Every structure is written in C-alpha cells, then in structure tokens.
C-alpha cells in the first residue's frame, strides 16, 4: 500500500525539481548574458505598437543565445524585446530607445542575415552588443536605423 503512495510523490518531486532547475538555468542566462542589465536600464512598461516579429533569435554577450524564442517589435518608440513565457523568468521585457543604439553592423551568412546592435547604457555607461537574426527583421532594422 505504501508503495502506491510513494510513486506519485516521486513523480511530483521530479516535476518540482525539473521546474526549479529550469528556472535557475533561465535566470542564470539572463544574468550572464546581459539581459538583466539591459532590462534594468531600459525596462518596458507594456507592449508597444509596431512591426511584430515572432520567434526571433538573438545573441548577447558570453554566447548567451536566444534561439527562436523572442518577440521583437520595431516601432518609433524603440526596439521592444521579450522572450516566450517558458524563458521569461529573470527576463523582463526590454524597450531600447533609438538614441541608445550607437552603432550597428549588418551581417550575412549564406542563408541568414543578421544585425549587430551596439547599445549604450544609460548615462553613457558601458555598451552592450545584441545580434538579432532573420532576413525580415534585419531589413526592417536597416531601414529603422
């Protein structure tokens, strides 16, 4: 009788352990990659109107990669980014104003286009690089910048 109670407890414990592990890894990526610092300097107060690109990919510092999990909105208010709900723990939405982007480089691989943005921190603090991937998004950002 006790064995039948013990098996569901193991199952529930494994689910709780997996969720805690997942949240810890996602939180750690936000800190190491620089997302948390960008969100601290350029927090988004809500979603904005503009050209919406879903399932975008990006790379931040220390090889922090966000593959096909970002929603990016390009608008006159700025560049809005937020990850999917599964990756949102520790990743507050970001709204980077146009004036904070001090440089950009267009890149091209055989099947992919990218744009590398250099973002100046508030009060002229340290710059951060964000590389966004995708032909349509790169074309939009090239016109926007």
The DSSP result for 42-62, as a single string, is SB-SS---SEEEEEEEEE-GG
Is residue 28 in some structural domain?
A: no
Question: Is residue 40 a part of any domain in this protein?
Answer: yes
54 within some domain: yes
Give me the pLDDT at residue 73, please.
92
Ramachandran area for residue 110 (φ above 0: left; ψ -120 to 50: alpha; else beta): alpha
93 contacts 39 by C-beta, under 8 angstroms: yes
pLDDT band at 2 (very low <50, low <70, confident <90, very high): low
Task: Supply the range of the domain harboring residue 99.
Answer: 33-144
Q: What is the pLDDT of residue 80?
A: 93
Does the residue 9 lie in any domain? no
In a domain, 1, yes or no: no
The secondary structure element, H or E, covering residue 49 is none
pLDDT at 3: 64
pLDDT for residue 41 is more than 60 = yes
Q: What pTM did the predictor assign?
A: 0.83
Residue in the structure block whose two tokens are 């013990």: 6
Over residues 63-111, the pLDDT tens digits come to 788 888 899 999 988 899 999 988 888 889 999 998 888 888 888 777 7
Beta bridge partners of 94: 43, 81
> Has residue 64 been placed in a domain?
yes
Split at pLDDT 50, 70, 90, the class of 114 is confident
Please state the domain count of the chain.
Answer: 1
CATH number, domain at 49? 2.30.29
**Domain-embedded: residue 94:** yes
20 within a domain of the structure (yes/no): no
């Amino acid at each position: 009788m006790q064995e039948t109670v013990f098996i569901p407890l193991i199952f529930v414990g494994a689910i709780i352990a997996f969720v805690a592990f997942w949240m810890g890894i996602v939180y750690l990526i936000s800190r190491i990659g620089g997302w948390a610092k960008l969100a601290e300097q350029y927090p988004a107060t809500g979603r904005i109107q503009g050209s919406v690109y879903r399932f975008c990919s990006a790379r931040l510092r220390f090889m922090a990669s966000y593959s096909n999990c970002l929603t990016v909105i390009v608008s006159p208010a700025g560049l809005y980014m937020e990850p999917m709900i599964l990756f949102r723990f520790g990743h507050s939405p970001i709204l980077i104003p146009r004036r904070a982007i001090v440089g950009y480089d267009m890149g091209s691989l055989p099947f992919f286009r990218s744009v590398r943005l250099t973002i100046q921190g508030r009060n002229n603090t340290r710059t951060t690089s964000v590389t966004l991937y995708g032909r349509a998004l790169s074309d939009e950002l090239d016109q926007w910048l």
